């Protein structure tokens, strides 16, 4: 446990779990610095698209760090707007990756009309769904939970997901911003601990108070490197008493390699491979990390 009043060096790329003393409320603060900058810098996404992916990575880290087993958690948002697909992966014990597919013309048109940060889901993603998939490996069945894109922001959609799929009253806040030219992101979630009578308990005063306090979190408190998660939690909940647990560090990963791409290419026929040749080469780019692999076309038979 960490002392709440101590404000140490900038705390980055970690998740801090916490529990409000004496109450059935728990939560997590996510703080992303170099990790989100590295993932976003590998792509050339426009600002609104990069910001959506930063929110998605924060949300995925928030959920992934609660997994009690080894595996992978994938968040996928599919829309019919300018932004078609957002994918964010979390792999235990704490690694992230992600990518976005979007239509540049439709995005430019949306921006020209003006995108309201509180309505970015309907204005950029449009109608569709948000899915969370948990994969514990080849011998285990996958678990998938889905909710419609029915909130103004990814945080609101996630809140609905928790309430419908997990029956956990939850409040979620996500934020992303460029600070001194580098992307940063952060988020906070508070949840009412699961119990059989949750419907009635959802009205509980302590829970409502925690949710209201949490809602007072400013965007800058989630992204500013000089505000540590401990300091934020102290400001929000010190009157109730808050217990902070060991932070969980976060990093970046990708699963691509030349060998993996080769294995995929091996599944195509010589004819299909011939169709892939551009300027005498077959070029494959990893959607996640934007690494490009070049191959010579198979020798003509
Ligand atoms: Zn990759």
Structure confidence by residue, pLDDT tens digits, 72-83: 999 999 999 999
Q: Note whether 161 and 144 are within 8 A (CB).
A: no
**How close is the Cα of 285 to the center of ligand 1, in Å?**
8
**How close is the Cα of 14 to the center of ligand 1, in Å?**
22
| 166 or 50, which is more confident | 50
Bridge-based pairing state of the strands 95-102 and 251-252: parallel
**How close is the Cα of 165 to the center of ligand 1, in Å?**
31
- Asked if pLDDT for residue 299 goes beyond 80, the answer is no
**How close is the Cα of 221 to the center of ligand 1, in Å?**
32
* pLDDT, position 195: 59
**How close is the Cα of 112 to the center of ligand 1, in Å?**
33
**How close is the Cα of 300 to the center of ligand 1, in Å?**
29
**How close is the Cα of 88 to the center of ligand 1, in Å?**
13
Q: Does the global pTM surpass 0.75?
A: yes
Confidence label for 223 from pLDDT (cuts 50, 70 and 90)? very high
**How close is the Cα of 254 to the center of ligand 1, in Å?**
5
**How close is the Cα of 42 to the center of ligand 1, in Å?**
10
CA distances from 289 to 43, 44, 90 (A): 8, 12, 14
**How close is the Cα of 86 to the center of ligand 1, in Å?**
16
Q: Which of left, alpha, beta for 132 (phi over 0: left; psi -120 to 50: alpha)?
A: beta
**How close is the Cα of 87 to the center of ligand 1, in Å?**
13
CATH superfamily of domain region 14-252: Hsp33 domain (3.55.30.10)
For range 20-37, the mean pLDDT: 92
Q: In which element (H, E) is residue 186 found? A: strand 182-192
* Residue ranges per structural domain of the chain: 14-252, 258-295
For range 11-17, the mean pLDDT: 94
Q: Note whether 263 and 274 are within 8 A (CB).
A: no
| 21 or 111, which is more confident | 111
**How close is the Cα of 257 to the center of ligand 1, in Å?**
7
Name the percent of the chain lying above pLDDT 90: 78
Q: Looking up tokens 């992916």, which residue turns up? A: 53
Q: Note whether 76 and 131 are within 8 A (CB).
A: yes
Q: Which tokens sit at 14?
A: 């970690």
For range 105-112, the mean pLDDT: 97
* pLDDT, position 298: 78
Cis peptide leading into 93, omega within 30 of 0? yes
Q: Note whether 88 and 75 are within 8 A (CB).
A: yes
For range 216-239, the mean pLDDT: 95
For range 105-127, the mean pLDDT: 96
* pLDDT, position 2: 44
For 123-180, the pLDDT digits (tens) are: 999 999 999 999 988 888 889 999 999 999 999 999 999 888 778 889 999 999 999 9
CA distance 110 to 247: 39
* Count of Cβ atoms closer than 10 Å to residue 94 Cβ: 18
Q: Note whether 217 and 188 are within 8 A (CB).
A: yes
Chain centroid to Cα 249, Å, comes to 15
| 157 or 202, which is more confident | 157
| 201 or 113, which is more confident | 113
For range 242-253, the mean pLDDT: 95
**How close is the Cα of 58 to the center of ligand 1, in Å?**
19
* Packed helices 34-41 and 47-64: angle between N→C axes, nearest 10 degrees: 130
CA distance 19 to 200: 21
Helix (H, G, I), strand (E, B) or coil at 237: helix
Q: Note whether 154 and 130 are within 8 A (CB).
A: yes
**How close is the Cα of 205 to the center of ligand 1, in Å?**
47
**How close is the Cα of 29 to the center of ligand 1, in Å?**
27
Tell which residue, 184, 166, 189, has the closest CA to residue 250: 184
**How close is the Cα of 290 to the center of ligand 1, in Å?**
6
* pLDDT, position 28: 97
Q: Which tokens sit at 163?
A: 């309430």
Q: Looking up tokens 């010579």, which residue turns up? A: 296
**How close is the Cα of 41 to the center of ligand 1, in Å?**
14
Confidence label for 7 from pLDDT (cuts 50, 70 and 90)? very low
For range 250-272, the mean pLDDT: 93
**How close is the Cα of 258 to the center of ligand 1, in Å?**
10
Averaged pLDDT of the chain: 90
* pLDDT, position 198: 52
Lowest-confidence region among 51-60, 173-182, 195-204? 195-204
**How close is the Cα of 54 to the center of ligand 1, in Å?**
18
- Asked if pLDDT for residue 194 goes beyond 80, the answer is no
**How close is the Cα of 262 to the center of ligand 1, in Å?**
14
Helix (H, G, I), strand (E, B) or coil at 50: helix
**How close is the Cα of 260 to the center of ligand 1, in Å?**
10
Helix (H, G, I), strand (E, B) or coil at 167: coil
């Amino acid at each position: 446990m960490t002392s709440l009043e101590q404000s140490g060096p900038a705390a980055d790329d970690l998740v801090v779990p916490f529990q409000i003393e004496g109450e059935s409320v728990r939560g997590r603060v996510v703080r992303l610095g170099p990790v989100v900058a590295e993932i976003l810098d590998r792509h050339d996404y426009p600002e609104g698209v990069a910001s959506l992916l930063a929110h998605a990575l924060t949300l995925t880290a928030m959920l992934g760090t609660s997994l009690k087993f080894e595996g992978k958690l994938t968040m996928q948002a599919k829309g019919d707007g300018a932004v078609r697909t957002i994918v964010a992966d979390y792999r235990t014990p704490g690694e992230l990756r992600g990518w976005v597919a979007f239509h540049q013309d439709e995005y430019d048109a949306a921006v020209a009309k003006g995108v309201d940060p509180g309505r970015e889901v309907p204005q950029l993603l449009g109608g569709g769904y948000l899915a969370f998939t948990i994969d514990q490996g080849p011998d285990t069945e996958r678990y998938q939970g889905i909710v419609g894109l029915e909130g103004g922001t990814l945080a609101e959609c996630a809140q609905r997901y928790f309430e419908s799929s997990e029956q956990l009253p939850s409040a979620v806040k996500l934020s992303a911003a460029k600070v001194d030219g580098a992307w940063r992101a952060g988020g906070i979630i508070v949840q009412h601990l699961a119990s059989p009578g949750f419907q009635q308990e959802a009205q509980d005063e302590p829970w409502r108070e925690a949710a209201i306090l949490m809602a007072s979190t400013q965007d800058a408190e989630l992204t500013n490197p000089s505000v540590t998660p401990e300091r934020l939690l102290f400001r929000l909940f010190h009157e109730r008493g808050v217990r902070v647990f060991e932070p969980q560090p976060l990093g970046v990963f990708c699963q691509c390699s030349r060998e993996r791409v080769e294995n995929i290419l091996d599944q195509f026929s010589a004819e299909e491979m011939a169709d892939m040749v551009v300027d005498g080469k077959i070029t494959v780019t990893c959607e996640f990390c934007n690494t490009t692999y070049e191959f010579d076309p198979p020798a003509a038979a």
